[in-house]
Amino acid sequence: MSARSRLAEGRRWVIKVGSSLVTAKGAGLDQDAIADWCTQIARLREAGVQVVLVSSGAVAEGMARLGMRKRPTVLHELQAAAAVGQMGLVRAYEAEFKQHGLKAAQILLTHEDVADRGRYLNARGTLTTLLEFGVVPVVNENDTVATEEIRLGDNDTLGALTANLIQADLLVILTDQEGLFEADPRLDPTARLVSEAPLSDDRLMAMAGTSKGELGRGGMRTKISAAYTAARSGAATVIAHGRKPDVLLRIRAGEPVGTLLIPAQGVMAARKRWIASQLQVRGRLLLDEGAARVLREQGRSLLPVGVRGVEGEFARGDLVACIGPDGREIARGLCNYDADDARRIAGARSDEIVRRLGGPGEPELIHRDNLVVTG
C-alpha cells in the first residue's frame, strides 16, 4: 500500500491553517474560506476522522478590528490584538460548524501545557474527550499570556505538538503555497513541487527558504521542523494549499496533493519510542494475572481492579512500569493518578473508584493510548 493511499485509513488528524489563509489580505477573516474548510471537516467527521483544527489568525484579525495597519512590535499591543482577534476567529468557526450540526470548542494552549507532564495529560484528556463527544476543538496559542521567552511563536510547531498530544495519524498544514518546493518559489518561480519525501531526506530543510508571507510567522522552515516533531509520535505530514478546492477531501482520498512527508520509522515504533522516551520510570504498579494477560495480549487500558500494589512516589502523568505476578515488566505508561490516589484505588472495581477517592476520577489507571507493552 502506498503512503498516499494509507492516508485514507487515518482516524485522527490535526489540521493547521496559517494566518496567510485565514485572513483576506489583512481585511479581516476570509469567511468563505473558513466556511469551505468547515464543510470539508464535517465530511471528514462523517467519514469517521476525528479532527483537531489549529487555526492562526488571531493577531491578523485583531489588527483588522483595531484598525492597525502594521503588525505591532510591542508585545502588549500584539497580545491585545490577539485577544480581540481570537473572539472573531472562534465566532466564525462556531457559526460555520453549526451549519453542519457540529459543535466547536476553543482551546488556548501555552508552552507549559505541552511541556509540563501533568498539564500535558490534562490537555490531552480534554482534547480526546472533546473528540469523543464529536466536537471539533479549535486550538491556538494563548497569545495573551505567553511572553516572548516562552512563546511557541508559530502555529506550525503548535500543530505538531498537538499531533503528539493526541497521537494523530496525520498533520495537515494548509498554507498559501502548493507545498514544499525544491527552492523558495518566491525567489525561484521555476522551482518544482516535492510531491512526497521521507523525513530521512536531509535536503528538505535546505529547500525551505527563509521567506514568509506578510502575516505568517514561520515560513516553510517551521513547517519542515513541525513534520519532524509530528513524526516523533508517528504522524505523517502533508503541506498543501488551503484554497485548492476540496483539498482536505482529496488528501483523504490519497490524491497526490501538496507534499507528503513520511516519518522515517514505522508508526508504532515511533509511538512506543515517544512514550518510552518521555520520562524516567517513577514507580511500579504490581498487576494480577488477569490484568497482566489483557495488557500483554489485548493491548487494553489498565484498570484499577487489576492492580495489587503500588510502589514508589510519582505524580499524575509520570511514567510507571507495570509488573506481572512473576516480577517481570509487561508494559510502561503514563499514569492518570499520583501514587497516593493509585494506592487508594488499587483493586477497586470501576463503580468503587468515586467512593474511594471521595470524588470523580478517571476509569483507567493508564489509558491504552498512553501504554506501551514492553515484555
Ligand X SMILES: N[C@@H](CCC(=O)OP(=O)(O)O)C(=O)O
Binding residues: 16, 56, 143, 155, 175-176
- Closest CB to ligand ADP among 154 and 364? 154
- Among 218, 263, 306, 324, the residue binding ligand X under the rule CB under 6 A is 218
Q: Does 141 bind ligand X (CB under 6 A)?
A: yes
Please state whether beta strands 319-323 and 236-241 pair in parallel, antiparallel, or not at all (unpaired). unpaired
Geometric angle at alpha carbon 326, from 320 and 332, rounded to 5°: 20
Question: What secondary structure does DSSP assign to 73-88, as a single string?
Answer: -SHHHHHHHHHHHHHH
What minimum distance in Å lies between the beta carbon of 129 and ligand X? Answer: 24
Q: Does 217 bind ligand X (CB under 6 A)?
A: yes
Contact characters 190-219, ligand ADP, x per CB under 6 A: -----------------xxx-xxx--xxxx
Q: Which bin fits 246, alpha (ψ -120 to 50), beta or left (φ > 0)?
A: left
Stretch that binds ligand X, among 94-102, 107-115, 152-160, 310-318 (CB under 6 A): 152-160
The entry of ligand ADP, ligand X, none near residue 59 (CB within 5 to 8 angstroms by kind) is: ligand X
Contact characters 45-64, ligand X, x per CB under 6 A: -----------xxxxx----
- Among 23, 140, 162, 229, the residue binding ligand X under the rule CB under 6 A is 140
- Closest CB to ligand X among 142 and 370? 142
What's the CA gap between 130 and 52, in Å, rounded? 9
- Among 40, 140, 164, 175, the residue binding ligand ADP under the rule CB under 6 A is 175
What minimum distance in Å lies between the beta carbon of 22 and ligand X? Answer: 8
What minimum distance in Å lies between the beta carbon of 17 and ligand X? Answer: 8
Please state whether beta strands 236-241 and 259-262 pair in parallel, antiparallel, or not at all (unpaired). antiparallel
Do 335 and 311 touch, CB atoms closer than 8 A?
no
- Closest CB to ligand X among 30 and 141? 141
- Among 10, 62, 88, 185, the residue binding ligand ADP under the rule CB under 6 A is 185
Q: Does 155 bind ligand X (CB under 6 A)?
A: yes
- Closest CB to ligand ADP among 229 and 301? 229
What minimum distance in Å lies between the beta carbon of 331 and ligand X? Answer: 37
CA torsion, points 66, 70, 74, 80, in degrees to nearest 10?
20
Single out the residue of 207, 203, 206, 209 nearest to residue 186, CA to CA.
209
User: What are the grid coordinates assigned to 192, written together?
Assistant: 518544482
CA torsion, points 210, 213, 218, 220, in degrees to nearest 10?
-60
Residues in the chain: 375
The entry of ligand X, ligand ADP, none near residue 180 (CB within 5 to 8 angstroms by kind) is: ligand ADP
Do 262 and 3 touch, CB atoms closer than 8 A?
yes
The entry of ligand ADP, ligand X, none near residue 263 (CB within 5 to 8 angstroms by kind) is: none
Instruction: List the interface residues with ligand ADP, window 20-39 (CB under 6 A).
Output: 20-21
Complete edge-to-edge strand list for the sheet that includes strand 329-334: 307-311, 281-287, 319-323, 329-334, 371-373
What's the CA gap between 366 and 28, in Å, rounded? 44
Do 280 and 70 touch, CB atoms closer than 8 A?
no
Annotated binding site for ATP: 16, 175-176
The entry of ligand ADP, ligand X, none near residue 141 (CB within 5 to 8 angstroms by kind) is: ligand X
Q: Which residues lie near ligand ADP (CB under 6 A)?
A: 18-21, 175-177, 180-181, 183-186, 207-209, 211-213, 216-220
